[in-house]
Chains A and B, each alone.
Chain A
Amino acid sequence: MRTQRFRRRTLLPLFAFLGVLLPLLTTDLAAATDAAPAKPVKMNSTADHTKYEDLQQVFKSGPEVTKACLKCHTEAAGQIHRTKHWTWEFLNPENGQRLGKKNVMNNFCISISQNYSFCTGCHIGYGWKDKDFDFTSEVNVDCLACHDTTGSYKKPAGNAGNPVVGEPMEMPPGSGKMVKPVDLTKVAQKVGKTSRDNCGNCHFYGGGGDGVKHGDLDSSLASPDKELDVHMDATGLDFSCGTCHKTSSHDVPGSRYKPTAREQHSAYIRGKGEKVNPATCQACHGNKPHKSPILLKSARMNTHAEKMACQVCHIPAFARGGVPTKMSWDWSTAGQKGSDGKHMVKKDATGHVTYDTRKGDFALGHDVVPEYRWFNGDIKYTLLGDKVEKSDSPTPINRIDGSPTDGRSMIWPMKIMRGLQPFDPVNKTLVMPHVAGNDDIGYWKNLEWEKAIADGMRNVNAPFSGKVDFIKTEMYWPITHMVAPKEKVVSCTECHAADSRLKGLPGIYMPGHSAKGWLDIIGWLAALTALLGVLIHGAVRITLSLRKAG
């Protein structure tokens, strides 16, 4: 309604103006206006890939498509080769730790060693099936994983990063489940800019299923509403992942191995801050983002932002989109079979798996209130070979560093994934079991830890005693996605209260939460004594007057 009224009012003088002007200009403009708006063009790209002859062919494999892409995009593969997405390796410059999926362990499916063809369904390459994958190969770069726009490009787990081409494939073999082949020609002809769906194909499904790993990334973010994510809101701002993770030369910024925990600067303007992380809130909003007409309120909010990451208040809970996330995984209970002697699966009321013979017990959570920790961005992983001790306190898979006094930390919301996973009690190290695979070693098929671990460890030349025990572990996942609209932020009372979200965090004084115990005792005793004193005094007066009167 409002826009219509506005239009009518503004358009009238505009027409009058054009009426006078246009007849004078038509002769000159005619040539230009005739052509421009008439021809429908693609507005999201300068190239229509259906028109390229190189793409008008039947492709029999992924690398064949890449070969065609590289004819024009000559530098693309080289750029990809330099990224974490390709190498699955990251050298932490702070502490020299060699990280990346290729090296680290987690407390989900644990590690990629001897599970390559399953894990690498999410590698942006073709054919990584064992430790000898050729990382220098250009044609093995998978362009389509990130540039498919049809939504039909799939790389099933177990196929070493290859799509199914030509004939339907039974996966896993003998299961009777057929995977449809991908029409590579169609996909190649319709390549385009990377969208939420492309990133989501892997990042929404980390840990082996929708929402499993991160908690703040799941399929509900493919087309979210405003409530779920104020920036990605499909009917609103409609940000893609790349709007924040501003990519250049195929290198996507924003890192879980070396996150930016604290930033004290105003918003970046174009050309500034190119060497910094563009994916932080502050990159766009600056570090004093709150504006309020109420006296002192914006300053108060901005002071909060000096100690707390934006995410603390602006992400009230994770896994808010209806997809639950895994909160714990107990591998030690794996292996129990049903009364029929077969593998069994237990599900909760909503149909989500809570026990699987192959994997053990799970706990799931949705609308999870995060836990909060001081965090300065430094993370130290427990890597293969690092000594671990079995005890009641969990072994951190990634130890996050931070304190209220180091000048570099902020309070961050975290998903803390907890679990029990196999380890070597003799060598006192975590282990890399071979879990997936349709062979006579993989744990998921054979349910024998010793064999599975020995194989995974042999593959990476790590010692294994042959003994297996289970150790409590925890893993930190800083929460940063699923930013709620400002009406839905964490309210003051959720922290400024006895039962505070930030309960137990050192180094903060919070009115409403951190009151001094002994001052309260003395204060209330004083008030109570005064009250009792005057009551007794009054009572004596009343009794005496009554007696006198009587």
Chain B
Amino acid sequence: MQSKFPMTLMALLIGATTMSSVQAYEGDWKRGRVYYRGVCTTCHTAQGGTPIGPNTKTMEEWSNYMKADKHAAGKDTVSQYVGKAYRDSVKETNKAAEKFADTPDEELLEDIRVFLLKSAKDGDSPASCS
């Protein structure tokens, strides 16, 4: 009887991974907007740099930017600043990071990607940084 527990757990885990890979995650631009403004823009402003409005690039440029995954001219990566480790490190002072503390990295990256595409210069509704 006792041996059943780990087996059930295994079945659960396998089930979950296969299912989620079957059905691709659909990005939520509203979550992306909150993270983009709450974390990206906030940090860019705090670091003294200029915040980058989503409407400063085209959909294609944003798409390539997210694919290339290069941040600060290649010094580090975009996914690093969306990743859980980074969110954990700033969540004490950043409410957006705190809000998404438990969100899987790939979901959040996708959220941001769809937000950027939607808000790009040639997107459905071009948006500035705030």
Q: Direct A–B touching in the complex (beta carbon < 8 Å)?
A: yes
Q: Which residues of A contact B (CB under 8 A)?
A: 1, 22-23, 26-27, 30, 33-34, 37-40, 150-152, 154, 180, 195, 197, 220, 222-223, 225-226, 233-236, 322
Cα(A34)–Cα(B19), bound, Å: 12
20 cross-chain CB contacts under 8 A = A23-B4, A23-B5, A26-B5, A26-B8, A30-B4, A33-B12, A34-B11, A37-B12, A38-B12, A150-B124, A151-B124, A151-B125, A152-B124, A154-B124, A195-B30, A197-B30, A223-B30, A223-B34, A223-B37, A322-B130
Tell me the number of A-to-B contacts counted with CB atoms below 8 Å: 68
Residues of B contacting A236 with CB < 8 Å? 95, 99
* A interface footprint on B115-127 (CB within 8 Å = 1, 0 otherwise): 0001000001100
Taken together as a complex, chains A and B put the C-alpha atoms of A64 and B18 apart, in Å, by 38
Q: When the two chains form their complex, are residues A220 and B130 in contact, meaning their CB atoms are under 8 A apart?
A: yes
Q: Is B2 an interface residue, CB under 8 A from the partner?
A: yes
Given the complex, which residues of A lie within 8 Å of B16, measured CB to CB? 37-38
Cα–Cα, bound, A233→B99 (Å): 11
Which residues on A sit within 8 Å (CB–CB) of B72? none
A37 to B5, CA, bound (A): 16
When C-beta atoms are compared, the residue in chain A nearest to B18 turns out to be A38
Chain B residues contacting A38 (CB-CB under 8 Å) are: 12, 15-16, 19
Q: Would A226 and B125 be within 8 Å (CB), given that A26-B5, A151-B29, A195-B30 are in contact?
A: no
Closest chain-B Cβ to A517's Cβ sits at a distance in Å of: 48
| A152:B19 contact, CB within 8 angstroms | no
Contact B30 A34 (CB under 8 A): no
Q: Quick check: B4 and A235 within 8 Å, CB to CB?
A: no
**Inter-chain contacts of A226 with B (CB < 8 A):** 95
CB of B1 closer than 8 Å to a CB of A = yes
Tell me which of B2, B11, B23 contacts A23 (CB under 8 A). B2
B51 within 8 Å of A (CB atoms):
no
The answer to whether B130 and A34 have CB atoms under 8 Å apart is: no
CA distance in complex: A302, B129 (Å): 40
Additional A-B contacts beyond A154-B124, A235-B99, A322-B130 (16; CB < 8 A) = A26-B5, A30-B4, A30-B8, A33-B12, A34-B12, A38-B12, A38-B19, A151-B118, A197-B30, A222-B33, A223-B30, A223-B37, A225-B38, A234-B96, A236-B95, A236-B99
Residue-by-residue, is B89-108 near A (CB-CB < 8 Å gives 1, otherwise 0)?
A: 00010011011000000000
Closest Cβ of chain B to A225, distance in Å, is: 8
Q: Interface extent on B, as a size class?
A: 20 to 34
Contact A40 B19 (CB under 8 A): yes
B8 touches A33 (CB 8 A): yes
Task: Assess whether A152 is in contact with B125, with CB atoms less than 8 Å apart.
Answer: yes
Instruction: Tell me the B1-46 residues at the A interface (CB within 8 Å).
Output: 1-2, 4-5, 8, 11-12, 15-16, 19-20, 23, 29-30, 33-34, 37-38
Give A166 Cβ to nearest chain B Cβ, in Å. 16
Complex contacts, B4 vs chain A, CB 8 Å: 23, 26-27, 30
Residues of A within 8 A of B33 (CB): 222-223, 234
Quote the shortest CB–CB distance from B104 to chain A (angstroms). Answer: 12
Closest to A26 in B: B4
| Residues of B that sit less than 8 Å from A by CB | 1-2, 4-5, 8, 11-12, 15-16, 19-20, 23, 29-30, 33-34, 37-38, 92, 95-96, 98-99, 118, 124-125, 130
Contacts of B96 in A (CB 8 A): 234-235
Question: Nearest B residue to A35 by beta-carbon distance?
Answer: B15
Shortest beta-carbon distance from B93 to chain A in Å: 12
**Most-contacted residue by chain B among A154, A226, A234 (CB, 10 A):** A234
Pair A39/B19 contact, Cβ less than 8 Å: yes
Q: Are A152 and B118 in contact (CB under 8 A)?
A: yes
State A40–B124 Cα separation when bound (angstroms): 28
CB neighbours of A40 from chain B (8 A): 19-20, 23
Nearest residue, chain B, Cβ from A195: B30
B99 and A34 within 8 A (CB): no
Residue of B nearest to A25 (CB): B5
* CB neighbours of A235 from chain B (8 A): 34, 38, 95-96, 98-99
By Cβ-Cβ distance, the 8 closest A-B pairs, closest first, are A152-B124, A235-B95, A38-B15, A235-B99, A234-B34, A235-B96, A23-B2, A26-B4
List chain A residues, Cβ under 8 A from B12: 33-34, 37-38
Inter-chain CA distance A197–B30, complex, in Å, is: 9
Contacts of A23 in B (CB 8 A): 1-2, 4-5
Min CB gap A181→B, angstroms:
11
- For B124, what are the chain A residues with a Cβ–Cβ distance below 8 Å? 150-152, 154, 180
Which residues of chain B are within 8 angstroms of A223 by Cβ–Cβ distance? 30, 33-34, 37
| Bound CA span A26–B38, Å | 43
Q: How far is the CA of A46 from the CA of B118 in the complex (A)?
A: 26
Which residues of chain A come closer than 8 Å to B8, judged between CB atoms? 26, 30, 33-34
Q: Which of A1, A33, A154, A235 has the most CB of B within 10 A?
A: A235
Which residues of chain A come closer than 8 Å to B130, judged between CB atoms?
220, 322
When chains A and B are docked, how far (Å) is the Cα of A220 from the Cα of B99?
19
Query: How far is B96's CA from A22's CA once the two chains are assembled, in angstroms?
Result: 37
Smallest CB gap from A187: residue in B: B124
Q: Which residues of A contact B15 (CB under 8 A)?
A: 34, 38
